[in-house]
Structure 1
């Protein structure tokens, strides 16, 4: 959104110019060049010849700076060109699979000023804000897009081999049509670039009881090959290690949005219930004050008599179709008899699974995911640019699962059911299984909820609140993708919101953090960087054995030696033994 002030200065944020997925090998000759474009979207209507020219320019720039120009290797001997900066645009390229490219063009934000020249005539100047858009943040957006797409749709080449080009185009359209336009290019801060998983640490006793519960579930339902346990949006248990950590992150991120949606729906239902109870109580009090022999008949015959019926129930604002569940009567204070209970919309406990346990089998739409069998690597890329080697997608490395998620209070249980053997695949198509599974989980999970709640309370008491208030930090473990941050507190849906307590991260601080991160990534031999801003706050980046810690020290008058003492104190907490949290 454009913003302006009283001084005639207009600020325009960065925005999407166009986004596309293409494969040059699919359009070799002039008449078929358009065939290489598998998906394209832009903020404006663009004819096909312009799309072809844009894709051709992208290929030319990549070849110029990465392959055809040896002098460019001086700056990046092992990495290909991933970003091109122009005066008005930022172009980014990402090849997640051999010959399949994800390409984006972003219109830079700018500041437009109206001034006067030497003769006093109005003069308009435009300053494009190239430095406000960080390459690392844009790169992570493209990687995340592919990561999420691959989990829920399979690799591009896998789809072409098994279902054809047309199916791939349809899947790309369904996935990216809305997803691309949700990107906020103004907020490419460090917390989005360093994209990790929120874990909840467990005490030894809690971990033992959770594992006992998991083993019992998988013993009773042998076709369930793996499980996740999530508590208040934090990952408690990430499975037996067979699922690659990138896939774990993608599924966790996907489920957090479902959990937030369900929590919002539940809050609406609870607020509606309280509102109806208040309305009934108010009606009853008014009735007892005004009722008399003379107006009794007129009261009941009045057209304004409050009524409660299913038609006054709140509508469902979420994407699923809820079942109907009765509200429990509130004892003797209720004005309604059991035969006139209020029915309001309410979903089943399954986040992924049937929305109505009393529906037919045809209403079940199982969610399928495509995961890699290789659990040792954290990267899902299949292109090795260092040696210019491209590996074909190995279909035998892809494992297909059905995903079922069950939520009770703050607990979410996630189940992975392989397509083969067929026992589990058949059961999740039957409503009778979900009814039985619901009864089983609702009775078994009560004790787990109690254990996790107690563990959560103990964790809060042990929290380092003094450091959280005095400093701002972000910790990231590249091996487990675990992240812990006090830069911004996390909201209920796992996203980050501005802080109202302690030090506030300004736009200048956020910008400096991103620049420091990019420097650490650019020079892997560095283990720590100290930098001081123009407003005299300190920002530190420290790296050790796959773990990195970023710290904002808001002590303007502190010397480098004093800041180093502060950093040593903080790293003693986060880098000592297994105490990474």
Structure 2
């Protein structure tokens, strides 16, 4: 059996038609283009086609912007990130070899508009998190388009290489947050710990607390935490854990190697607090509250065992090694103690779930648009690595049902059966979505409906669904 080839981007570009209006200055409207080695004539042809399609479709509906163009060989998706600024992506194709010659095989059946439009939006949100909005960059540089081009090239030339289009699915549409429910006492201890951090260190404006890639507490607005959470779970923390694994087991606090003081260490910040020559290490700056008045913060991430604390420190402050030492002395012992309590609570919850689970075979995906809460047993981890418990065809069906929900009212249900005896159910109610996958050959609609109700009652006890 041959493995499936990776889907590649055909192109990706950012442009603004308001730039380069004069003859001979048309290149100024192209702010970023990938692949970078594409000749200028091809760039202008593709950008010109995008401009023409957007303007043409605007004559039919000025309220609804053009989002996709389907052709026999490829597909173009359009996203207006800001006023006048358009981002376009062309996908997909795979490279194959026949008789010693490489050729492109187009995979239009594998492309779902709602999934890849979400990927396009995420790319903008991630850029805005680390660089700020396009408009603010131009404003701060007094309209210097070259400065904006440099920032776009610096970010996207790296970011696009990290995209895993083969693993994009319905969770990219939701871009939700997986929360960790705790009992009142444990949650109160976490909240007291967070409050104590912010009271002790006036430089810390916001704090977020995660355990095993699940969010326990965040002081950020949900929309900002949504983007930060994705960066942490899919990029920063996996890279940090890989580095730790390559270096062996996790060391204890470097200042006391023979004492069990704590297991805390900085993910962003100094690698060794005892070595002043290393400085403060790499600490990224992030932009939050971009829709109102953008605020800039240093993102300091500290981790002990399975717990992660994110500290958003005023961006105007100069970070020094003394601050990191004081943070380590304060955070390390308390976080190491607190993570043990959270782990014990999670262990009790897991035991209860296993005891009450009558049939583990049905899989589900849940999303609440009100608080961005997300839960999935279809995906076996939250790292977005393609580790799923269903077939690719069933995974695409989930996104198809999601795309079709616009035809429903505030409440609705869709039930499908595949040729391979998979039942796929999608329920929408009160801005909540619930998708269930059941692999059962001889079941009927009544049995499937009863199974969905049972699953909803056991997994989402506090969630109200209209019948």
TM-score range, shorter chain: 0.7 to 0.9
1:58 maps to which residue?
A: 50
Select which of 224, 232, 252 maps to 2:212.
232
Confirm or deny: 8 A CA contact 1:537 1:553 kept in the other structure: yes
Q: Does 1:398 align with 2:378?
A: no
Confirm or deny: 8 A CA contact 2:167 2:385 kept in the other structure: no
Q: Does 1:518 align with 2:414?
A: no
User: Which string of whole-angstrom CA distances, capped at 9 and with x for unpartnered residues, describes residues 121-159 of structure 1?
Assistant: xxxx99854222111111011011011111111001101
Confirm or deny: 8 A CA contact 1:531 1:538 kept in the other structure: yes
Q: Does 1:151 align with 2:137?
A: no
User: Which string of whole-angstrom CA distances, capped at 9 and with x for unpartnered residues, describes residues 398-453 of structure 1?
Assistant: 1222221111221111111234xx6xx14xx2211111221111122232112111
Q: Does 1:433 align with 2:410?
A: no
Select which of 235, 242, 246 maps to 2:223.
246
Distance of 2:451 and 2:63 partners within structure 1:
36
Q: Tell me, what secondary structure is at the counterpart of 2:204? A: coil
Select which of 174, 184, 189 maps to 1:209.
189
Confirm or deny: 8 A CA contact 2:205 2:312 kept in the other structure: yes
Greater shift in the superposed pair: 130-139 or 248-257: 248-257
Distance of 1:403 and 1:479 partners within structure 2:
26
Q: Tell me, what secondary structure is at the counterpart of 1:31? A: coil
Select which of 411, 414, 417 maps to 2:307.
411
CA RMSD of aligned residues (A): 3.1
Q: Does 1:139 align with 2:117?
A: yes
2:232 maps to which residue?
A: 255
Confirm or deny: 8 A CA contact 1:16 1:181 kept in the other structure: no
Q: Does 1:570 align with 2:455?
A: yes
Distance of 1:532 and 1:432 partners within structure 2:
62
Runs of at least 5 residues in structure 2 that lack an aligned partner in the other structure: none
Aligned ranges 1:262-411 → 2 under 5 Å: 262-270=240-248, 328=257, 349-357=265-273, 358-360=275-277, 363-372=280-289, 397-411=293-307
1:83 maps to which residue?
A: 68
Q: Does 1:32 align with 2:25?
A: yes
TM-score, structure 2 normalization = 0.88
Distance of 1:94 and 1:350 partners within structure 2:
37
Shift of 1:570: 1.9
Distance of 1:557 and 1:194 partners within structure 2:
32
Aligned length: 453
Aligned CA distance change for structure 1 residues 52 and 497 (closer, same or farther; 3 Å): closer
Q: Does 1:537 align with 2:422?
A: yes
Confirm or deny: 8 A CA contact 2:27 2:44 kept in the other structure: yes
Confirm or deny: 8 A CA contact 1:404 1:414 kept in the other structure: yes
Confirm or deny: 8 A CA contact 1:214 1:227 kept in the other structure: yes
Aligned CA distance change for structure 1 residues 527 and 450 (closer, same or farther; 3 Å): same
Q: Tell me, what secondary structure is at the counterpart of 1:200? A: coil
Q: Tell me, what secondary structure is at the counterpart of 2:166? A: coil
Aligned CA distance change for structure 1 residues 512 and 414 (closer, same or farther; 3 Å): same
1:118 maps to which residue?
A: none
User: Which string of whole-angstrom CA distances, capped at 9 and with x for unpartnered residues, describes residues 187-232 of structure 1?
Assistant: 3322333321121111111011111112222221123221100112
2:34 maps to which residue?
A: 41
User: Which string of whole-angstrom CA distances, capped at 9 and with x for unpartnered residues, describes residues 334-377 of structure 1?
Assistant: xxxxxxxxxxxxx982112223323259655542211117xxxx
